[in-house]
Amino acid sequence: MSGKALKDLNALPASERKSESCSKGGFTKAHSEHGILEEKQKKNTASLPETPINGDESVKTGLEVGNSEVEYIESENLNDVEDVDASLKTLLAGLESKDWVLVCEALNDVRRLSIFHKETMLSMLENVIPLIVKSLKNPRSALCKTAIMTSADIFSAYSDHIIDSLDPLLVQLLLKSSQDKRFVCEAAEKALITMTAWVSPILLLPKLQPYLKHRHPRIRAKASMCFCRSVPRLGVEGIKAFGIDKLIQIAASQLSDQLPESREAARTLLLELQTVYEKCHVLSQTAISEEDSEFGSWEHFCQSKLSPLSAQAVLRVTNIAREGIALGS
């Protein structure tokens, strides 16, 4: 991970300015890139306040302070771009614009192109993703949320194709999902869920591991939840290949974490690992003695791979869950 990315993680961002209006994305047809951007710049300047509006109130509706309506378009409601060639030609300039509303429009075009023309835009991802990251860092909540939604659509469209560019996106999404601005936080959490659903766990888990030890507890908690969601997607053989012993050590370390989200994710992961271990152990049993069976038990496995205190904590979790299942049946 780059020094810059680690620097971004070392402190959560200060409270953000109250979000402002952002109009629906989409470029009109024009004869040149400059003409398109200039036309939209004039339109935005005429319709929006010149200075940002500060305030501490949370945004609870679709309207924000100002004259325009903020519109966050869900992926399923996005329409195709009017002109693919024109959108591609002006995309990078729009993402780099100093007009934040124009950047929102460009981000929505990235989403449209990812959904309707993903092969066409694949070659541009290397240049597009750093500009999405730039918008994720922007203090304007409306722009930040639009960038978060763009990240989610990038994950679902390109999955493993973005793995080499994932680190800066992951850093920012963990940060945004850990902040107090609720509507930004919820969008970031949704994007992280999309990431764990579309990016292969064998590639994603190593990316998540460093954040399980991050100094900020909320970062650790969000990373733990992502890790917990990703492991079952490995499947039994994938978990065996990754290493059940390695995974149980990771989960055990989270059981004593500061936040309940981390601890709950660890408990969920341990139950998954216990199920996989016992399934593999049963399949491998062929005319073995009772003594050998005990030697290969879940309890012995935990005690052989963990410190006495960690093993005790793990067995307490899994035994309580087993007793609960027995009582319920």
The pLDDT, as a whole number, for residue 117 is: 95
The pLDDT, as a whole number, for residue 295 is: 56
The pLDDT, as a whole number, for residue 9 is: 54
The whole-angstrom distance between residue 236's C-alpha and the CA centroid of its chain comes to 24
Q: Name the residue ranges covered by the structural domains of the chain.
A: 1-199, 228-329
* 155 in Cβ contact with 194 (< 8 Å): yes
List own/partner pairs for 268-271 with CB under 8 A and 24 or more apart.
Answer: 268/228, 269/227, 269/228, 269/231, 270/314, 270/317, 270/318, 271/317, 271/318, 271/321
91-124: b or e for each residue (b if 16 or more CB lie within 10 Å)? beebbebebbbbbbbbbbbbbbbbbebbeebeee
Best CA proximity match to 113, nearest among 105, 161, 20, 166: 105
What's the average pLDDT block by block, 10 residues per block, for the chain (329 residues)?
52 44 40 49 42 34 39 93 94 96 95 96 95 96 96 97 96 95 95 98 97 95 97 95 95 94 96 92 54 70 95 93 56
* 61 in Cβ contact with 140 (< 8 Å): no
The pLDDT, as a whole number, for residue 180 is: 86
The pLDDT, as a whole number, for residue 267 is: 96
User: Domain 1-199 falls in which CATH fold?
Assistant: Leucine-rich Repeat Variant (1.25.10)
Q: How many CB atoms lie within 10 A of CB 255?
A: 19
Q: How far apart are CA 222 and CA 170, in angstroms?
A: 11
The pLDDT, as a whole number, for residue 280 is: 86
pTM of the predicted structure, to 2 decimals: 0.77
Q: What is the DSSP string of 169-192?
A: HHHHHHHHTTSS-HHHHHHHHHHH
Q: What is the DSSP string of 56-89?
A: -PPP-SSB-SSSSB-----GGGPPPPS-HHHHHH
Best CA proximity match to 134, nearest among 97, 89, 179: 97
C-alpha angle 80/86/92, rounded to 5°?
95
The pLDDT, as a whole number, for residue 250 is: 96
The pLDDT, as a whole number, for residue 185 is: 96
The pLDDT, as a whole number, for residue 105 is: 94
